[in-house]
Structure 1
Amino acid sequence: MKFTTRLLALGAAMALNSAYADEVQVAVAANFTAPIQAIAKAFEADTGHKLVAAYGSTGQFYTQIKNGAPFEVFLAADDSTPAKLESEQETVPGSRFTYATGTLALWSAKPGYVDAEGAVLKGNSYQHLSIANPKAAPYGLAATQVLAKMNLTQATQPKLVEGQNITQAFQFVSTGNAELGFVALSQIYKDGKVEQGSAWIVPAALHDPIKQDAVILNKGRDSEAAKALMQYLKGPAAAAIIKSYGYQI
């Protein structure tokens, strides 16, 4: 009898937990793919909520959100797009915050090809330079700012290979279609080191800060999972993962 009572109590507790567990639909800037995948696992283990992510450029997500896409949370690659959505009353007031500050890197899949100062850009020995679309992807905009600061805009214009987002810009380099390109440091960096190829970590002074904001969208207004995710992103477990990929908090 006692055993049966315990089983019933356990079943009731599990049912109660599952009632509170939920899914949250998240639009994630492409540069944050690897960190959010790690965060999603920890988030589900710690809270029971499941994070379902879609990846793309911040500009493309803006258009999709305005057209009614079913996203509940938006993790952008900038702070201006969430602020714009906020001003257009597409978000939950007071939910926006900066979850990470990104770092730009000039990268080649070839070891030793990119020097620690980025002088390879001025060497002009390469045929193709990959960047993300500066109109849709903040990392692409930052790349154009770096080229302008280095007085290389005109010299590099014929060499540019433009990806729709930072993932495609990375793929152009990783597949050898471009000798080098501007990528998010998080795509090539883990636990304090560049994992493959060679890279120049671009000084922050060469471009506008890449402040990445998160916000709850109107479709997530009543979602407990959305609220839980935002709190989780502010906590120590998520912070440790975010920092391990080269972001600042």
Structure 2
Amino acid sequence: MNTRLCNILALCCAFATAGTRAEEIIIAVAANFAAPMEAISQQFERRTGHKVRLAIGSSGKFFAQIHHGAPFQAFFSADQAKPAQLERDGLTLPGSRITYARGRLVLWSADPGAVDASGSALKQGTYHKLAIANPKLAPYGAAALEVLEGLGLESASRRHRVQGENIAQTFQFVASGNADLGLVALSQVTRNGKISQGSAWLVPEDLYSPILQDAVILESGRNSAAVNAFWQYVQSDAARKIMESYGYRPPASAATIQ
């Protein structure tokens, strides 16, 4: 039996099991993945009858909250390190960790004419404020700092930078006009594979470490049929198409932290 057919059968079995009793599950989701996760959750709810409550925020804060007993049943992080550490700490369902997406970074402005295809606005310093996410809490912030350092702009940009607590707040700084430019997640400005607003430079991926994003089922989701069904659905072709429409690369070749 080929792999594709096995996946289809597993998905059908998960849906059949889940259909016996509707549940509500609570999932913690990194801010960069909010829009695709909302779309995936809505589609999942329509198909299964289960309900999904999403908590959207900083991966770093969720990591701390999970250690303090937050009632999440699954965690979709913006990196690999935090789910791997939760696994080592015994707070997850063994064997549940997956790499669900590979994120990308863009230089973005709400002004349609502010950013060209080479990112010259950043390189030439022709801006007043540049928004990045907190590098200590947000993987996209760490990637942004790598880009600035790689381009030799870290020192020159320092006095112009404003820092968001997470990538959602960083995006809002730019969308509201409080920052001219921002290094944000491609998923925040992409719809159906195209930049949906403003102007953007897709930052070359050789300027920052791969943003591989892992998810894990937490201990409280161990016996949930709905969580199991959702896990199958997130890895389905239907969910993958949604992710790709927001600019995420498939994680098939991504190496997972051991």
The verdict on a shared fold, with TM-score over 0.5 as the criterion, is yes
Question: What TM-score does the superposition give when structure 1 sets the normalisation length?
Answer: 0.92
Q: CA deviation at 1:47?
A: 1.6
Q: CA deviation at 1:192?
A: 1.9
Which residue matches 2:135?
Answer: 134
Which residue matches 1:198?
Answer: 199
Q: CA deviation at 1:224?
A: 1.0
Q: CA deviation at 1:161?
A: 0.3
Query: Which consecutive residues of structure 1, in runs of 5 or more, have no partner in the other structure?
Result: 1-15
Q: CA deviation at 1:24?
A: 1.2
Pair 1:90 & 2:54 matched:
no
Give matches, 1:1-249, under 5 Å.
Answer: 19-249=20-250
Work out the CA distance in 2 between the residues paired with 1:207 and 1:17: 40
What letter is aligned with 1:167?
Answer: A
Q: CA deviation at 1:18?
A: 6.6
RMSD: 1.2
1:47–1:154 Cα change, 3 Å: same
Work out the CA distance in 1 between the residues paired with 2:192 and 2:137: 29
8 Å contact from structure 2 (residues 18, 226) kept in 1: no
Q: CA deviation at 1:173?
A: 0.3
1:80–1:240 Cα change, 3 Å: same
Q: CA deviation at 1:19?
A: 4.8
Calculate percent identity across the aligned residue pairs: 54
SS in 1 for 2:100: strand
Work out the CA distance in 1 between the residues paired with 2:193 and 2:72: 33
Q: CA deviation at 1:148?
A: 0.7
SS in 1 for 2:54: strand
Question: What TM-score does the superposition give when structure 2 sets the normalisation length?
Answer: 0.89
8 Å contact from structure 2 (residues 147, 207) kept in 1: yes
1:17–1:94 Cα change, 3 Å: closer
Which residue matches 1:8?
Answer: none
Rg larger for: 1
SS in 2 for 1:20: coil
- Dislocated runs of 4+, deviation >6 Å: none
